[in-house]
Amino acid sequence: MTYNGDSKIGDLLANETTKALLEKHLPGISTNPMIEMAKGFTLTQLGALPQAGIPVDTLDALLADLGGVASEENPTHAAPASESPKPTASIGAQVAVVTGAGSGIGRASSLKLSEAGFKVVAVDFNSVTGEETLSLMREQGGEGLFVQADVSKEEDVERYVKAAMDTYGRIDAFFNNAGVLQKFTLLENLDVTEFDRILNVNVRGVFLGLKHVLKVMHAQGSGSVINTASTAGLRAEHSMSAYTASKHAVIGLTKSAAIEYVKKGVRVNAICPGGVDTALTQAVPAMMQESGYVPEEFPNMRMGRFADPAELAEMVVFLASSKSSYMTGSVIAVDGGLTL
Ligand SMILES: NC(=O)c1ccc[n+]([C@@H]2O[C@H](COP(=O)([O-])OP(=O)(O)OC[C@H]3O[C@@H](n4cnc5c(N)ncnc54)[C@H](O)[C@@H]3O)[C@@H](O)[C@H]2O)c1
């Protein structure tokens, strides 16, 4: 074993050889008054902190030098012989899992995460559109894989998490996004089967994703989860009681997970899109025509337009990255002023 990006700053400073290498590449680091707070960080985590301002080239040169030092020199760092080596997390090699990646906000976010340097595990129920998203990512030079899965089935969720771990060995960001819109109706006419269909995907699917991905992030000691709620999670949408209930539940799950994992290095936030131009909203006129029912009120599009899915994806990338390092449990409306 040699020292690498997973080595703790405290361990590197405790060893004379590695301390000298730290000083060579980051002069003054061992006497910096802030270093006490960073001793529990790995070198990769420190490098990813914008406040640390470590150039990627400097980090790469330091890692190259550390690669030549046997970590057995420092007994606190040495891994037991039986422990399988952890894949090294280097900057620019982060891994994101995105559900609902075949369309709309999930596809746009997969592409933007890929552009930002993430390897993306794209998950969708629909294998045709999911594979299309993977092809689009590869066309722009990105790397990833597609896993066909129904997010409301636990065995499928376990399968997409396993695929990510088998291929990349870690999950740094999880966009827990797949969701479905209900048929508009007054609550008294809402079928139990329709109520169950909405809660099954929007709540059970989000819960199962959290359950299995948080286990991985807890073990890693790091990670960022972004759940897709909705402005319907912040207030009621007329004739959409099941959808409104489901998105309020997503916010409840977000806040619960955020407080449970805040001391485990894992952040959990939610985005609340307003109207976004996707297959989901494009289906609305046909849904109303089919049912013959028109809601008495519609959301107020204050900007006079729907959002482009890419406008949501920008927020997803920000929350997935260390640029949002002090945010957890936040519920962020990206809604063109709809909820004002
Ligand atoms: N479009 C909007 O105006 C809007 C507004 C607020 C919130 N949202 C939320 O944003 C998320 C994404 O919506 P979108 O507008 O991009 O919709 P979309 O219909 O364009 O994409 C949703 C994707 O999720 C997939 N999916 C649906 N059920 C699934 C399941 N059980 N398992 C796996 N994949 C499944 C679909 O195949 C589709 O590819 C949803 O949670 C939605 O509720 C959308």
> φ, ψ for residue 299 (rounded to 5)?
-60, 150
The Cα–Cα gap between 232 and 180 comes to 13
Is residue 126 in contact with ligand 1, taking CB distance under 6 Å? yes
Distance in angstroms (rounded) separating the CA atoms of residues 19 and 307: 50
Helices (H), ranges, the chain? 9-14, 16-25, 35-38, 43-48, 56-66, 104-115, 127-139, 154-168, 192-199, 206-220, 241-261, 279-282, 284-291, 309-320
Using the atom order of ligand 1, give the atom closest to the CA of residue 279. 20
Give the ligand 1 atom nearest the CA of 276. 3
CA of 320 to the centre of ligand 1 (A): 19
Answer whether 229 contacts ligand 1 (Cβ < 6 A): no
* pTM score, whole prediction: 0.78
Tokens of 142: 């990105």
Nearest in space to 329 (alpha carbons), one of 276, 238, 255, 247 = 255
User: How remote is the CA of residue 179 from the centroid of ligand 1, in Å?
Assistant: 4
Two tokens at 109? 């976010």
Q: Closest Cα to atom 30, ligand 1: which residue?
A: 150
Q: How many helices (H) and strands (E) does the chain have?
A: 14, 7
| Domain locations in the chain as residue ranges | 9-73, 95-334
How confident is the prediction along the chain (340 residues), in pLDDT tens digits per residue?
788 888 888 888 889 998 999 899 998 888 886 776 677 777 887 787 666 778 888 888 888 889 888 885 443 333 333 333 333 333 447 999 999 999 999 999 999 999 999 999 999 999 999 999 999 999 999 999 999 999 999 999 999 999 999 999 999 999 999 999 999 999 999 999 999 999 999 999 999 999 999 999 999 999 999 999 999 999 999 999 999 999 999 999 999 999 999 999 999 999 999 999 999 999 998 999 888 999 999 999 999 999 999 999 999 999 999 999 999 999 999 999 999 9
Q: Does domain 95-334 have CATH number 3.40.50.720?
A: yes
DSSP string, 195-234: HHHHHIIIIIIHHHHHHHHHHHHHHHT-EEEEEE--GGGT
Residues in contact with 280: Cβ distance below 8 Å, sequence separation at least 6, in sequence order: 103, 104, 179, 180, 181
Beta bridge partners of 42: 8
261 is annotated as an active-site residue = no
Q: Which residues contact 1 (CB under 8 A, 6 or more apart)?
A: 70, 71, 72, 78, 79, 85
Q: Does the Cβ of 13 fall within 6 Å of ligand 1?
A: no
Closest residue to atom 40 of ligand 1, CA basis: 179
Residue 98: φ, ψ to 5°: -125, 125
Using a 10 angstrom Cβ sphere, with 0-12 exposed, 13-18 middle and 19 or more buried, the burial of residue 83 is exposed
How far, in Å, CA of 195 to CA of 188, rounded? 12
Residue 123 pairs with which residues in a beta bridge?
99, 147
**Is the separation of the CB atoms in 243 and 282 below 8 Å?**
no
pLDDT at 270: 99
202 C-alpha to ligand 1 centroid (Å): 9
Other beta carbons less than 10 A from residue 61's beta carbon:
14
Q: Which of 54, 56, 44 is nearest to 86 (CA)?
A: 44
Q: How far apart are CA 213 and CA 121, in angstroms?
A: 13
Mutation choice for ligand 1 from 156, 235, 278, CB with most ligand atoms inside 8 A:
278
Q: Name the DSSP letter for residue 70.
A: B
Contact 244, 199 (CB under 8 A): no
Question: Which ligand 1 atom sits nearest the alpha carbon of residue 273?
Answer: 6
Q: Report whether residue 109 contacts ligand 1, using a CB cutoff of 6 Å.
A: no
Nearest to 114 by CA among 92, 90, 89: 92
CB 180 within 8 A of CB 197: yes
Query: Is 124 a pocket residue for ligand 1 (Cβ < 6 Å)?
Result: yes
Residue nearest to ligand 1 atom 42, measured at CA:
179
The span from the CA of 245 to the CA of 144, in Å, is: 34
Q: Kindly give the pairing relationship between strand 119-124 and strand 95-99.
A: parallel
Pick the catalytic residue from 160, 168, 243, 261. Answer: 243
Pocket-testing residue among 159, 180, 199, ligand 1, by greatest number of atoms within 8 A of Cβ = 180
Q: Determine if ligand 1 sits within 6 Å of the CB of residue 6.
A: no
Whole-number Å distance, alpha carbon 209 to ligand 1 midpoint, is 15
